[in-house]
Amino acid sequence: MNANDKTEKVLREIHIMLSKAEPYKPEPSRVIINKQQMIDLLAELNKCIYAMQDEYELTEQSRNHAEREFRKKGDQIVWDASRKAEDVYAASVIYTDEALSRVRDIINDTNESLEKLCKNMKDKIAEQEKIVKTNQYELKGQLQDLSDTEKYLKIIDDRNKEIERQKNAGKPVEERTIDKEEKSIYANRQTEIKVNMDYIRKLGLAEGEDLGDGVVGEVKLADDTPDAGLNHGNDKDEAKDAGSKSSVDEDYKAISRKAGNPPVINTMEGKELTAGIHRMWQSITGNKGK
């Protein structure tokens, strides 16, 4: 039996004792009771009250203890939930990082594949361009066999410049394209002319005097030795085969006008040789004497 029940029992006994007590005749509101019995009941009631207080204190302590335990358990639950949430978040971050790493690898592989493809395409295009340029140079090289090589090369160069101007029309200066390789090859191109100096010396000419049209030489007087006069008869026959005397004189006069210092020729052989070298120069350069 707990303190509460004991207290109720004592109070009930006190109530019964008072109800059964004999009334005091002078004053009916008063009763006559056993003093010692009443003291014992009050003492028992006092014990019950203390017992109830002890039980209350124990209940309060137990409640506080229970609240602390519940609070601790709640904190632990929150802590566990937070840790689990952090673990879930960390796992999602790790998974996302791995996924992004795979995406980067795919992008890098794709970029490398595209670079290789572009490099192969550029190499093939450069190879084809080299073949086309080689063919173009071979075609231009075949013009060397023609008499008007410089004229044809100039026509090709002018046409290429015109095409380049049309391509660069409307473009900024830094975006304009110029074929530097072709320009360096065909710019200031001149036909190489080789002169047989032994033949020049045989004509009685020496180096150092401009004879016109780029021919450099100096015409000397023919050697008036007896050996030179012995061959006059043969020289006349050779002059008839090469052309008439009048045409030779005209060619000779043309050379004289261009030279600025007219040569003196005393023999038919000298005239014939002079005319021959003039015709040779005309066949090389394509220029006609006036």
Instruction: Decide if 192 is inside a domain.
Output: no
164 and 240 part of one domain:
no
DSSP 3-state of 215: strand
2 and 113 part of one domain:
yes
Question: How open is the CA angle 275-280-281, to the nearest 5 degrees?
Answer: 100
Please identify which residue in the block is written with the tokens 């949430």.
Answer: 85
> Taking a C-beta distance cutoff of 8 angstroms, is the pair 243, 254 a contact?
no
> Taking a C-beta distance cutoff of 8 angstroms, is the pair 232, 267 a contact?
yes
Tokens for 108? 């890098």
Measured CA to CA, the distance from residue 76 to residue 70 in angstroms comes to: 10
Q: What does pTM read for this prediction?
A: 0.31
Tally of structural domains, the chain: 3
Tokens for 35? 């003093």
36 and 3 part of one domain:
yes
State the pLDDT at residue 290: 44
83 and 162 part of one domain:
no
- Would you tell me the crossing angle of helices 245-259 and 268-285 to the nearest 10 degrees? 70
Torsion sign, CA atoms 76, 81, 82, 88: positive
277 and 167 part of one domain:
no
Domain that holds residue 32: 1-117
Residues paired with 212 in a beta bridge: 215
Instruction: Decide if 141 is inside a domain.
Output: yes
* Closest to 215 measured CA to CA, from 251, 259, 160, 150: 259
Measured CA to CA, the distance from residue 178 to residue 164 in angstroms comes to: 7
Instruction: Decide if 191 is inside a domain.
Output: no
> Taking a C-beta distance cutoff of 8 angstroms, is the pair 30, 24 a contact?
yes
Please identify which residue in the block is written with the tokens 């060619």.
Answer: 251
93 and 8 part of one domain:
yes
94 and 155 part of one domain:
no
Q: Where are the alpha helices (DSSP H) in the chain?
A: 3-20, 35-141, 149-168, 180-186, 197-202, 226-230, 232-242, 245-259, 268-285
What Å distances lie between residue 182 and 133, 148, 179, CA to CA? 9, 20, 6
1 and 112 part of one domain:
yes
Instruction: Decide if 43 is inside a domain.
Output: yes
162 and 262 part of one domain:
no
163 and 202 part of one domain:
no
State the pLDDT at residue 200: 64
User: Which helix (H) or strand (E) segment is 219 a member of?
Assistant: strand 215-219
Instruction: Decide if 122 is inside a domain.
Output: no
Q: What is the dihedral of CA 186, 189, 195, 200, to 10 degrees?
A: 170
5 and 30 part of one domain:
yes
State the pLDDT at residue 95: 94
Q: How do the pLDDT tens digits run along the chain, 290 residues long?
A: 677 788 888 888 888 888 888 888 888 788 888 888 888 888 888 888 888 877 777 777 778 888 888 888 889 999 889 888 989 999 999 999 999 999 999 999 999 999 999 999 999 999 999 999 898 888 777 766 666 667 777 777 788 888 888 887 877 666 555 554 444 444 455 555 555 666 666 666 555 444 444 444 444 434 444 444 444 444 444 444 444 444 444 544 444 444 444 444 445 656 666 676 666 666 665 555 44
Instruction: Decide if 88 is inside a domain.
Output: yes
1 and 113 part of one domain:
yes
Tokens for 33? 């009771």
Instruction: Decide if 290 is inside a domain.
Output: no
Strands 205-212 and 22-23: unpaired
Instruction: Decide if 221 is inside a domain.
Output: yes
Question: Of 186, 209, 234, which residue is a domain's last?
Answer: 186
